[in-house]
Amino acid sequence: MKSLFVASLSLIFLSGCSVYKSDGRKDFESAAPGKISATSMKSAAVAAAPSFQLKSCKKEGRLETWFNEEFPSTNYELVVAENDLEIWRTTRSGVIEVKAIQKTDTATHTCVYEFSTFATWDLLKEQFIRELENNLMTVD
């Protein structure tokens, strides 16, 4: 009986609360669905679009490796420089192109990736670099 009384009293108290009936609350509730759906549609569009794609991979010869080390392209910006991995980035007609170069004792592998926008590159950059650092690139 006591719990029924407390439940009834709290229900009456909450139903009379001015926060739930205020004009500010009504304005918020009427504006929120538009904002939420626009944000959701934007996230869905980003999720639906491919974030990046592999354009090409190849095993470089010794002469090509030497030439690229001695005369790097001026259009590219060095993102990561380690003993066995270099990552270079450039922009070509609004698309971010990333070149990953992995060196081993026996060969040098180069892969070119394409990111659709700078925002996509900026969002996925850390994860992308971690994946390249943890996994060996091969032509296969």
Burial class (CB in 10 A: 0-12, 13-18, 19+), 120: middle
pLDDT at 52: 84
Show the domains of the chain with their CATH numbers.
2-46 (no CATH), 51-134 (3.30.200)
Q: For residue 5, what are its two tokens?
A: 């009384």
From CA 124, how far away is CA 121, in angstroms rounded?
Answer: 5
**What pLDDT shows up at residue 113?**
93
- Please state the pTM of the whole predicted model: 0.59
Provide the residue-wise pLDDT of the chain in tens; the chain has 140 residues: 666 666 665 656 555 555 556 666 566 556 555 554 444 444 444 455 558 889 999 999 888 888 888 887 778 899 998 888 999 999 988 889 999 999 888 889 999 999 988 889 989 999 888 888 887 555 44
pLDDT at residue 90 in the model: 92
pLDDT value at position 47? Answer: 52
DSSP 111: E
Residue 51 DSSP symbol: S
